[in-house]
Structure 1
Amino acid sequence: MTFGPASELGVGLFEDTAPFEYVPGRSEEEVESVIRAVYRQVLGNAYIMESERATVPESQFKRGELSVREFVRAVGKSDAYISRFFETCPRYRFIELNFKHFLGRAPNGYDEMKAHSAILDTGGWEAEIDSYLDSDEYQNAYGENFVPYYRGYKSRPGQTMVEFTHMFALARGASSSDFKGSLAGKSPALNKNVIQGTPIAVVPPSGGAAGDGWSFQEPTLGARTRQGSGAGANGKVYRIEVTGYASPGAVNRVSRFRRSNKVYLVPYEQLSQEYQRIHKQGGKIASITAI
């Protein structure tokens, strides 16, 4: 099942679109739809020019010489994929996108990221891509003839909350493009959160819900502020993530905050007061979580 309203979390189109499966004997139009689905999934919804298409593997697929899995492999090893996600991205951005494109989920922790980093070191990017497509997980999820699709945003037995929230950091709505990168550019979207095993606030994508903190980015340590002195009487401290600081009630006024994203650590007793203060100063609260 999905978490929360699909339309607000940016996964409505994924929910409404059935997985693409290649069945021998289908019409030419249906085969073309499978090919388009492979490009869309593997290339992260990036626009692809005619000159970038894998024309030889396409022809082999249409003739029945390649399964969907082997066509996915060919696109994953194409110049279009490598130039977009290997040559121009940091190592861990490349790996986290491989998980998304080929297994439809986020990496489940640092150990998994480290294992694929070792594959990259010893076998190069071809071995790294093969490791996903030749895995038991890929076969169990998609087999030979299903186009990979996003699975990580659905709760399932054995899935950790960390992996679940990390998927929403990678999948920023059906209209987003991995080629253009996240809000942080082409830097890893998970970064230290996957190393430390910490969840990320689940916020809607741009246009999902105006004013609900879609533009929140994890700030640097210097942007964190502790309000009060540790936990209050009930022993709880809350982490408030804030985005979109602006001067309220005026146009073209510069905010007094140097950073638009800030994190506050607030005792329970001051939570309501802090909530009002943030809104009064023009901030948008992305999330409030107990720590």
Structure 2
Amino acid sequence: MTTTNSLSDYRTQKYSFGVARDLDQDPVCLSPSGDNLDAVISSTYRQVFGGIGLFEVDRVSIAESQLRQGNLTVRGFVEALGQSSAYARLFLDSTSPHRFVELNYKHFLGRPPASEAEVSTHVKLLREQGYAAEISSYVNSDEYQEVFGDETVPYLRSINSLVGFAQDTFNKTFRLRGGAAASDFSMGRSSRTIAELLGYPNYAIPLPSQGRPLPKLSNFARVTRGPQSVPLSSSPYGGFGVGERVQPRYVRQPKDNATDKATLLRQLYRHVMGNPHLMETERPHALESQFLSGRLSVRESVRGLCKTPLYRSRFFETMAPYRFVEVNYKHILGRSPESQAEMGAQLDRVITAGYDAAIDWLVDSDEYSNAFGEDVVPYLRGVSSGDGRSQANFNRTLALVPGYAGSDSIGSDSSTVDTIAGASSLAIATRSTASSGSGDAPSKRFRIVVRSQRAGSRRRLATTTYVVSGDNITSQLAFIHRDSGRIVSLTEIS
């Protein structure tokens, strides 16, 4: 699946800021016949609530019913959503006054505040006349009537130049936008435009939705007794945690016995789930049974694993959008995304067609068929040269490899988006030059001293010591990393 030429440079730039969907869609207007009511209601919720998925109990059912019966305009529906208890709970009660006002400008007028005076006026209005009057001041303003009228759903209009507004409105808009898969509630309670409004502008626009980085894990302390736990690898690829340049191929055969099938299943989990440490209760036993009995091909098992709640919770719900796309490409196609257009197209696919459709598009692609067919377990192809792939893809693929004891579920930030977007070069840090196993590992024991600290917590927890055998050390290290533990020392014991 090589990069197509149908996406222009302009469209590629849109994807890099996460606003392609806003620019590509026309404003949503209620038709005279009312045949697009569902689309109008959906778009209004998305705009007014800033991309937040609401529970059914939070929906404003009475206003929805009035809109469907023709007793309420779209403008009135927007005002009803803004004055709802759900909106007040999410944005008034949970954010600072400055942040609340800037979100109101975005949700109801489709732009950021133009000046500190605008913000101060609305903070004063909120204090003196109350919450309902503050919301009504936007929806009943001359600006709203002129731009949206009574039957058009508000939209983010300031991603294009606005007549009568300063050029820095563009920058402030992207600070409020966040990204293609971000929500306004997830972006914090503090103002994102106050520096510009007070005269301290930052003209750099960050790429969206990169998330908060996890605490940096320390390197292992030097082993103080005995030889190294695993032998050194002679291959230069061992330093990147991928073993050899030519990756092993696991192919399903008609005469596979139970041991062969179990090996294939382990390799499926290892590659598609990103070298995980799974509890027994997390495993999709129904899918395993169908694979082992021959009712599912390797290809369909890959599709099934990627659609499990486990995969979704590990890689879609807890990661930045660009990170989700890059691990998708690694798990299914065995390489990193080739370009910003590929990343943007997959993000757009998730947004417009849904999660399952995005998975199907990769599994059903010609590239997957040519590389793996029906019976080959996907593997890292990006560590070798390939037709239609740039040399830079080699570095990006290595950047996605967490090492032998690492897991793809550790860390929520994209590893490659800056280099794909052309913002920086990529330096690949080498991993331990150990091979993936040790001949006498089961006969050895190791003491691991861990100091635990939860991400974002100021309270340091107690130091914990683990004693594990050599054949269990990989899963133990993965557990420690996933739990945000800091390894103080790793020592071989007799």
Return the TM-score normalized by structure 1: 0.68
Q: CA RMSD in A?
A: 2.6
Q: In structure 2, what is the equivalent of residue 249 of structure 1?
A: 429
Of 89, 94, 119, 1:113 maps to 119
Aligned residue runs from structure 1 range 143-154, under 5 A = 143-154=149-160
Letter in 1 for 2:175: A
Return the alpha-carbon distance in structure 2 between the equivalents of residues 88 and 213 of structure 1.
36
**Counterpart check, 1:178 vs 2:164:** no
Of 205, 210, 215, 2:208 maps to 205
Of 191, 194, 198, 1:191 maps to 194
Q: In structure 2, what is the equivalent of residue 32 of structure 1?
A: 38
Aligned residue runs from structure 1 range 242-281, under 5 A = 249-250=429-430
Of 119, 128, 135, 2:134 maps to 128
**Counterpart check, 1:64 vs 2:70:** yes
Letter in 2 for 1:134: N
Tell me if structure 1 keeps the 8 A contact 2:82–2:135. Answer: yes
**Counterpart check, 1:6 vs 2:3:** no
Cα distance, 1:196 vs structure 2: 2.0
Gaps of 5+ in 2: 1-9, 210-321, 323-343, 345-415, 433-494
Return the alpha-carbon distance in structure 2 between the equivalents of residues 100 and 204 of structure 1.
19
Cα distance, 1:250 vs structure 2: 4.6
Mean Cα deviation higher: 169-178 or 59-68: 169-178
Cα distance, 1:157 vs structure 2: 2.8
Return the alpha-carbon distance in structure 1 between the equivalents of residues 58 and 97 of structure 2.
23
Return the TM-score normalized by structure 2: 0.41
| Deviation string, structure 1 residues 210-248 (Cα, Å, up to 9, x no partner) | 12699xxxxxxxxxxxxxxxxxxxxxxxxxxx99xx997
Tell me if structure 2 keeps the 8 A contact 1:85–1:94. Answer: yes
Tell me if structure 2 keeps the 8 A contact 1:163–1:199. Answer: no
Cα distance, 1:202 vs structure 2: 1.8
Return the alpha-carbon distance in structure 1 between the equivalents of residues 151 and 65 of structure 2.
16
**Counterpart check, 1:17 vs 2:17:** no
| Secondary structure of the corresponding residue to residue 164 of structure 2 | coil
| Deviation string, structure 1 residues 108-141 (Cα, Å, up to 9, x no partner) | 1111111111111111111111110111110111
Tell me if structure 1 keeps the 8 A contact 2:79–2:135. Answer: yes
Q: In structure 2, what is the equivalent of residue 89 of structure 1?
A: 95
Tell me if structure 2 keeps the 8 A contact 1:204–1:212. Answer: no
| Secondary structure of the corresponding residue to residue 181 of structure 2 | coil
Cα distance, 1:199 vs structure 2: 4.5
Letter in 2 for 1:16: D
Gaps of 5+ in 1: 215-241, 253-291
Return the alpha-carbon distance in structure 1 between the equivalents of residues 92 and 52 of structure 2.
15
Q: In structure 2, what is the equivalent of residue 221 of structure 1?
A: none
Tell me if structure 2 keeps the 8 A contact 1:153–1:167. Answer: yes
Letter in 1 for 2:18: G
| Deviation string, structure 1 residues 233-285 (Cα, Å, up to 9, x no partner) | xxxxxxxxx99xx9972559xxxxxxxxxxxxxxxxxxxxxxxxxxxxxxxxx
Tell me if structure 2 keeps the 8 A contact 1:106–1:170. Answer: yes
Q: In structure 1, what is the equivalent of residue 108 of structure 2?
A: 102
Tell me if structure 1 keeps the 8 A contact 2:11–2:20. Answer: no
Change beyond 3 A, Cα 1:197–1:51: same
Aligned residues: 217
Cα distance, 1:197 vs structure 2: 5.7
Change beyond 3 A, Cα 1:3–1:13: closer
Letter in 1 for 2:25: T
Return the alpha-carbon distance in structure 1 between the equivalents of residues 122 and 203 of structure 2.
22
Q: Percent identity?
A: 35
**Counterpart check, 1:77 vs 2:119:** no
| Secondary structure of the corresponding residue to residue 161 of structure 1 | coil
For the pair shown, which has the larger CA radius of gyration, 1 or 2?
A: 2
Tell me if structure 2 keeps the 8 A contact 1:109–1:197. Answer: no
Q: In structure 1, what is the equivalent of residue 396 of structure 2?
A: none
Change beyond 3 A, Cα 1:186–1:115: same
Return the alpha-carbon distance in structure 2 between the equivalents of residues 103 and 4 of structure 1.
27
| Secondary structure of the corresponding residue to residue 95 of structure 2 | coil
Change beyond 3 A, Cα 1:4–1:154: farther
Return the alpha-carbon distance in structure 2 between the equivalents of residues 213 and 247 of structure 1.
13
Change beyond 3 A, Cα 1:126–1:200: farther
Tell me if structure 1 keeps the 8 A contact 2:67–2:73. Answer: yes
Tell me if structure 2 keeps the 8 A contact 1:105–1:167. Answer: yes
Return the alpha-carbon distance in structure 2 between the equivalents of residues 3 and 116 of structure 1.
36
Letter in 1 for 2:135: I
Letter in 2 for 1:190: T
Cα distance, 1:54 vs structure 2: 0.4
Return the alpha-carbon distance in structure 1 between the equivalents of residues 145 and 200 of structure 2.
27
Letter in 2 for 1:111: A
Change beyond 3 A, Cα 1:140–1:176: same
Tell me if structure 1 keeps the 8 A contact 2:50–2:184. Answer: yes
